[in-house]
Amino acid sequence: MEFQRIDLDNWSRRSYFEHYLNRVNCTFSMTANIDITELLPALRQKGMKLYPAFLYMVTNVVNAHREFRTSFHADGELGYWESMIPSYTFFHQDDQTFSTMWTEFDDEFPVFYQNYVADMKQYGDNKGLVAKELEPPYTFPVSCIPWVSFSGFNLNITGDGRYLLPIITSGKYFEQEGKTLLPVSLQVHHAVCDGYHASLFINDLQKWATNYKEWLGVE
């Protein structure tokens, strides 16, 4: 996957980037409920799970906006990946631990879904933090907390403050006023994303959930 370097001297965002990276190092999170009222039964009808569908939708949103793919390369250069794939957590029921997995993405949902199923079958019983080794550098993190319907979620990341990629977390879906709602939290670094971009993410994710017939293959 190609990594495009950003020319800071000709980058319209340079002043914002330098301010929120070097002067006021700042991340922020936004949580919203995504309406999956029609999507969920459509997945159940096809015998498919919600989590891989969620991974598919968020990956499409991430790949639609350069701001969510901007990061530092291993060599320290700032830039963005042409496209990214999800690195996601999954739960081990027997010992209540979790592991991470990455799955190759495909624009066609049935193909991505089968990639997910194949990875879970091959690596799903592996314990430890990393279930599937050799994770490529062009991944972004996704996790799920399916036991609680939260109204806010925030990660406190210590270190040098140079982690720029979005961190996406879903919660337990719930019923409210006849709708099925899925809480989704997005955490971003203010150096590369503003409230506008976070709003784009939430609104685009809702569009994917609403327009499920276009990619799920149902009438």
What string of pLDDT tens digits covers the 219 residues of the chain?
Answer: 899 999 999 999 999 999 999 999 999 999 999 999 999 999 999 999 999 999 999 999 999 999 999 999 999 999 999 999 999 999 999 999 999 999 999 999 999 999 999 999 999 999 999 999 999 999 999 999 999 999 999 988 877 889 999 999 999 999 999 999 999 999 999 999 999 999 999 999 999 999 999 999 876
| Three-class SS state of 199 | helix
Residue 190 is predicted with a pLDDT of 97
Residue 130 CB contacts under 8 Å (≥ 6 apart), including other chains? 99, 100
Residue 1 is predicted with a pLDDT of 85
Per DSSP (E only), the strands in the chain are: 3-5, 27-35, 70-72, 78-81, 85-92, 97-102, 139-144, 167-170, 174-176, 179-189
Residue 159 is predicted with a pLDDT of 79
**CATH-assigned architecture of domain 3-214:** 2-Layer Sandwich (3.30)
How far is it, in rounded angstroms, from Cα 71 to Cα 105? 19
Residue 25 is predicted with a pLDDT of 93
Report domain extents, the chain.
3-214
DSSP designation for 112? H
**Active site (annotated) includes residue 190:** yes
How far is it, in rounded angstroms, from Cα 121 to Cα 22? 44
Question: Which one is catalytic: 65, 73, 92, 190?
Answer: 190
